[in-house]
Structure 1
Amino acid sequence: MTKRTVHIALVGNPNSGKTSLFNALTGLNQRTGNFPGVTVDKKTGSTPLSATLVGNVIDLPGTYSLYPKRLDEWVSYRVLLNQDKDIRADVFVVVVDASNLKRNLLFCSQIMDLKKPVVVALTMADIAKRKGIEIDLPQLERELGVPVVSINPRKEKGIALLKKAIELTASNQYKIPVRDFIENKELAPAPIEDLRAVLPDASDYSAIHFLINHEEFELDSRLQATIENIEEKHAFNHTKTQAAEILQRYNRIRQIMQSSVVEPDPNEQKRFTAKMDDVLLHRTWGYLILLAVLFLLFQSVFYLAQYPMTWIEEGFSYASIWLNNVLPAGWFSDLVVNGIMAGLSGIMVFVPQIMILFGLITVLEDTGYMARISFLTDRLMRSVGLNGKSVMPLISGFACAVPAIMSARNIENRKERLLTILITPLMSCSARLPVYTILIALVIPNKYYLGFLSLQALVMMGLYLLGVVMAMLVSYIAKWFIHIKEKSFFILELPTYRPPRAKTIAQTMLNKARIFVTDAGKIIMVISLILWALSSFGPPKRMAAIEKTYEQQLALNPTAKDSLQIHLNTAKLENSYAGILGKSMEPVIKPLGYDWRIGIALVTSFAAREVFVGTMATLFSVSDDDKGTLLREKMATAKKQNGEPLFTLATGVSLMIFYLFAMQCMSTLAIVKRETRSWKWPVIQFVYMTGIAYLMSLLAYWLLK
């Protein structure tokens, strides 16, 4: 039997339970992408409605009314006004928070007056009940003239009844109310009449929105001019019409609530959420609790992710060894092991951090604390061109910039979101730790002050703080150069506290991991293969001469095969295209105290910063079994061509600062390209971060030299 498909749009205020309903309806049958032309989350999924009907569900961005201010609100607005050619909905499920009925019914009534097929999904009835709010559902349904279904998507209650209501609405058994919620035509009778003569399918209320926002719609020039003439002819006043409409709607909503809702005394004692906010939003304790929560978040990501990351690395290591033994020696096996396997390892090793980070962020969102974090930090963030919603991506950047940049999608304002993306890589991610650790152990004395303050620990903490300070400074400067004319509205509703839902957390973790692997992973693989080729091949004459020298030395001393093989690999790397690049870079990096070997490490660690340690091990001819103290000893005794030590205090600090500020991470550039839909911003990011890294490293080297 062929099933008919009905297109369902979920709409509603932010924090009304819309996402929970989407998850309850679609389960794992979800797809995540972007709305055409904009980087705003587009979540779609399917749900069975009956034996003959299947629902294609789209979760539209949350909005408070049909007067959009932010980019995501415009997305929903265009769908509701039939101005999105890619999205057409047969039924609109308006999610209404029963505990905030008055405010939610404003948006609901506007959608009804657009003459859309509407089903009201009443959520959070349990919270309303705890607040002492009692709703007469049959009476509310009679007053609105559309089906009203009480649901609890977190416990999957009422979902079957909601599906039945959607089915009946889609088959026109529930009719669109003939009478408007308010007398829309009385708001501007003459302009509405003239507009409807041009667009006869428009409702009176749709006509008002065409008069207000027709410039933002994709209409032909002739129609645009006609509507503009109607406005001028009748001196149509946008602001006055909007104000009168909102006033009338709230008057009508007040009447409906008097007949349908019993509310408690407003002076009743504060409930649990209010009491919690007294502590968590306290002027002093609130910030201390916030710091503790963020510290636990960062530590949890770092410590929990290290185990699965180690397992993934070991798994790929064993697989590489096995492939080396199975495949015949040659360029193909080298491509598979050091190109493809290394690239896959570089992708998969990020997955635990992404899943754990987004899982913990979902816990904070589900409980309602995420909104409090944004509220507490808004003042500081706004002073440098950001807003309170920027703090979580920045904090997440201490674990890994890739998922942190992905989480910046929660920032509605395009300028603030772009600024957040541009500065997030300045946070010291966990990939920098191996570089910091080996260089600090190499050049910073193991001294203690006051018997417990470690100089090495203070240097490590200083690197993290320096990254934060530089990020704030860059944002403050960049805000004057990014000319995106979009007002910043930090409208934030503080939701009630709720226990997190395991199913939602699991779905978020799986979806974010899948997006990273399938989207950013493609770009990472391509760049990994390019880096492998640069490191594995060089000018044929040079490589042939190296091979000939190796064979001659091996013939003279067959017992030294292992050590000669290490020297052969080092010589090949030095004369590979990557090695030649390192040599060509030497005049540029020499003022920083670096030589060609560090130059090669700067190139190879672009794949991942921690590759610096492995590159150093290869360059200084240390076997894989001797990566501990012996590597530091070799680096400590390494000399420049003029006989001076390579790693001095000045060189070590300079190199740490370079890795702190430089964009040495191809996966970050890949995800920035994906999120901004342009190579322009990754290029700008690479240039400004490399410039800061060079100048600050130069300054550090010459001050300490």
Structure 2
Amino acid sequence: MKQVNIKVALVGNPNAGKSTLFNDLTGLRQKTGNFPGVTVEKKSGTFRINAEEVSNVTLVDLPGTYSIYPKSKDETVVMDILANPKHPDFPDVVIVVADASNLQRNLLLFTEISDLGIPSVLALNMLDVAASMNLTVNAVQLAMQLNVPVVRINARTGEGVNNLKEAVRQVARSSNKRAMQYFYEPKGHEMELIEEVKGLYQLDNDYVALQYVCQHDNFSFLEQPVRAKLDTLIEKYGFDENNFLAEETVARYEKIKPIVSKAVKSEGASERPFWTRKLDSILLHQVWGYVIFALVLLLVFQAIFAWATFFSDWLDATAAQGIEWVKVTLPEGVLNDLITDGILAGIAGIIVFIPQIAILFALVSILEESGYMARVMVIMDKLMRRFGLNGRSVVPLISGVACAVPAIMTTRSISSRYERLLTILVTPLMSCSARLPIYTILIALIVPANEMVGIFSMQGLILFGLYFLGLVGALASAWLLSLFIPRKEPSYFMLEMPSYKLPRWRHVGFAMYESVKSFVLEAGKVIMAISIILWVLASYGPGDNMDVAEQQTIAAMPNASQEQIEAAVASIRLETSYAGEFGHFIEPVIKPLGYDWKIGIALLASFAAREVFVGTMATIYSISGDSEDVPTVKQRLVQERNPDTGGQMFTPAVCYSLLMFYVFAMMCMSTIAVVYRETHGWKWPLIQLAYLTVLAYVSAFAAYQLLS
């Protein structure tokens, strides 16, 4: 059977169902990365079409946009690919996803894509929403007028997706190029300019030539001399880009209106569904909207503890038993110690938090799929403006609850450079999933699981408070920074709200799977590297210091049991190791926060990634031997003694101090790297690192001094 490889691009307006269709077509066959040559995140996946030939399709999900003329950084990717046949992601076919309930506006993007001359398929989505608005869309009539295949789909249920696959196959294998139908026809001097551009750059499409004129500064594939030549041509023909864009848009809508009037029939008053209007009157209320949002967040954090505790405890105990089995099974020696006390102890300190991560991402996915997140952006816009931000800043801030790195990348959707910079600088204050292991283990140390405040768990309330504190810190920092960063352009916020929908559980499952996989694999790589380095530093020391300290310890304990001697020797060897020496070196700086040298080692290690803190503590206490008979990470921390007082090390004062430190600290090298990449220099990352470190230190100091 013959095999054919097809490359397909997926484009569409925001909230048209493009991402849902992408997930449905590709399932788990997805990967993320960056588009070649730029830092914009790229989602791609594969699917197969089986007919008389096997078609292997690579699907690239392009950023959502209302038009091919970009208004934000990530939207520039669309034309950077579609205007360049040499681009590795240039498609054989474009699927344009259109919201059938607002067809006229969605067809603007379709007509622009069509004029580029790339074979296209129009996927009509949200027909159920159109039906609830008393609108009937005739796909056959639309296909006849647009001269392209038009497929009725429901991306949420998968209805029509097989027909869409077949349409893609037929368009891709068709050797007869369809008769070119321009929806915008150039006139006057535009034609002369187009002909000269086509001749200079060997182009065969009028509209692509126009895009060379209008968007050449956005095209990464054009060298500077080419851009300068195009500027010369613009001046030669007196081409006014702003007037052209206005005239083009008007001309397109004049072509689109009669098409829509023939294909779309209204059977009555066309308005938003009753329940959408009813819910919006409550969820967008100037008072109740905020109250409900706060309650939703509170319930999310309650669920993280209530639903995840059993699974986390089981994973913790199972990991401890597994490590003990490996320790007993492998021959004694350096390799055994490295694997069990180093690598496995560190990794065990992070996998126990998989249930919390999965539940967090699942609940956030449900809120997004239901359409509620768009309402949050609207109600938060007024509040955000008081701090120098706008409603679009909500998306990066909420995304920061998952991970600051992609959250900072989503700021490209903010058109104002000023608001984008402010959002980048404060997004790391939102408590990401990497902080969740630290929060949950420390909260569990100081608050019993059965302690309740009314119907709410005290643990969940404290977790909610930490996330809320991060939000308050982000807004306050944005306001403070706005006093020093000059605003150079006006701000505006436009958003089309989607209708409410029941979440598609398959997609929620995808979100859980992808988040857990990313968390475990990415954190696992860092933890494994840090654990190996830490084990080496903790197992070896300068000169013969460790051996001398061991002999002195044994000599000082003539009447102790063998078990006590072994624990004491392990502890003193760690203290005189390279790691111990360095921990003691920085101890004077962190002592006012209530931390000892062991916590200091974990703090420094967690600069690679915050989640390393728990794994590092597990590794240190495995090596120290202080808790030989205590298997789980939590129990190791409970058993740790303060060398000065002899009491418990992790007192409420120390735990709250650590919580304050990690709420505000910039403990993530990946975040620093992405801020450098997005701001094109070291100025803002260093400012960000400095002010967040000072804020974290002062907050932790205040917490410890007040509570101790």
Residue among 359, 365, 370 paired with 1:367 = 370
1:335 Cα offset (Å): 0.6
1:431 aligns with 2:434: no
Q: Flag structure 2 segments of 5+ consecutive residues without an equivalent.
A: 415-419
Q: Which amino acid aligns with 1:188?
A: E
Q: Distance in 2 between matches of 1:452 and 1:146?
A: 58
Q: What RMSD over aligned residues (CA atoms) do the two structures have, in Å?
A: 4.1
1:422 aligns with 2:428: yes
Residue deviations 1:653-693 (CA, integer Å, cap 9, x gap): 75664454345x6xx44466478769968776654433223
Tell me the residue number matched to 1:153. Answer: 155
Tell me the residue number matched to 1:445. Answer: none
Q: Any residues of structure 2 matched to 1:334-373 within 5 Å, and which?
A: 334-373=337-376
Tell me the residue number matched to 1:522. Answer: 525
Q: Distance in 1 between matches of 2:484 and 2:29?
A: 42
3-state SS of paired residue (1:120) = strand
3-state SS of paired residue (1:70) = coil
Q: Distance in 2 between matches of 1:433 and 1:338?
A: 23
1:63 Cα offset (Å): 0.7
Q: Distance in 1 between matches of 2:616 and 2:521?
A: 27
Q: Residue 95 and residue 591 in structure 1: after superposition, are their counterparts in 2 closer, same or farther (change >3 A)? A: closer
Residue deviations 1:538-588 (CA, integer Å, cap 9, x gap): 22411111332355467x43x611122221122112112221112212333
Q: Distance in 2 between matches of 1:507 and 1:454?
A: 29
Tell me the residue number matched to 1:536. Answer: 539
3-state SS of paired residue (1:44) = strand
Tell me the residue number matched to 2:12. Answer: 12
Q: Which piece of structure 1 moves more, 146-155 or 600-609?
A: 600-609
Q: TM-score, normalised by structure 2?
A: 0.85
Q: Which piece of structure 1 moves more, 217-226 or 604-613?
A: 604-613
Structure number with greater CO (CA < 8 Å, separation at least 6) is 2
Q: Any residues of structure 2 matched to 1:612-651 within 5 Å, and which?
A: 621=626, 624-625=629-630, 638-639=644-645
Q: Residue 385 and residue 83 in structure 1: after superposition, are their counterparts in 2 closer, same or farther (change >3 A)? A: farther
Tell me the residue number matched to 2:573. Answer: 572
Alignment check: 8 A CA contact 1:31 1:45 kept: no
Q: Which piece of structure 1 moves more, 233-242 or 137-146?
A: 137-146
Q: Which piece of structure 1 moves more, 341-350 or 497-506?
A: 341-350
Q: Distance in 2 between matches of 1:90 and 1:159?
A: 19
Q: Which piece of structure 1 moves more, 544-553 or 278-287?
A: 544-553
Q: Any residues of structure 2 matched to 1:112-511 within 5 Å, and which?
A: 112-172=114-174, 175-185=177-187, 188-217=190-219, 218-266=221-269, 271-391=274-394, 394=397, 403=403, 406=406, 410-411=410-411, 412-413=413-414, 415=421, 418-425=424-431, 429=436, 431-435=438-442, 438=445, 466-478=469-481, 490-511=493-514
Q: Residue 701 and residue 347 in structure 1: after superposition, are their counterparts in 2 closer, same or farther (change >3 A)? A: closer
Q: Any residues of structure 2 matched to 1:617-696 within 5 Å, and which?
A: 621=626, 624-625=629-630, 638-639=644-645, 657-663=660-666, 668-670=668-670, 673=673, 687-696=690-699
Identity of aligned residues (%): 37
Alignment check: 8 A CA contact 1:113 1:181 kept: yes
Alignment check: 8 A CA contact 1:39 1:676 kept: no
Q: Distance in 2 between matches of 1:293 and 1:377?
A: 15
Q: Which piece of structure 1 moves more, 510-519 or 535-544?
A: 510-519
1:702 Cα offset (Å): 6.9
1:97 Cα offset (Å): 1.3
Q: Which amino acid aligns with 1:370?
A: M
Alignment check: 8 A CA contact 2:302 2:456 kept: no
1:101 Cα offset (Å): 0.4
Q: Distance in 2 between matches of 1:165 and 1:454?
A: 53
Q: Distance in 2 between matches of 1:675 and 1:2?
A: 47
Alignment check: 8 A CA contact 1:340 1:525 kept: yes
Q: Which amino acid aligns with 1:310?
A: D
Tell me the residue number matched to 1:35. Answer: 35
Q: Residue 312 and residue 210 in structure 1: after superposition, are their counterparts in 2 closer, same or farther (change >3 A)? A: same
Q: Which piece of structure 1 moves more, 616-625 or 571-580?
A: 616-625
Q: Distance in 2 between matches of 1:23 and 1:619?
A: 47
Tell me the residue number matched to 2:417. Answer: none
Q: Distance in 2 between matches of 1:544 and 1:160?
A: 71
1:82 aligns with 2:89: no
1:651 Cα offset (Å): 7.4
Q: Which amino acid aligns with 1:562?
A: E
Q: Distance in 2 between matches of 1:176 and 1:104?
A: 22
Residue deviations 1:584-614 (CA, integer Å, cap 9, x gap): 1233334556554654564577764456986
Count residues with an aligned counterpart: 688
Q: Residue 362 and residue 461 in structure 1: after superposition, are their counterparts in 2 closer, same or farther (change >3 A)? A: closer
Q: Distance in 2 between matches of 1:470 and 1:6?
A: 48
Alignment check: 8 A CA contact 2:653 2:703 kept: yes
Q: Distance in 2 between matches of 1:223 and 1:631?
A: 64
1:482 Cα offset (Å): 7.9
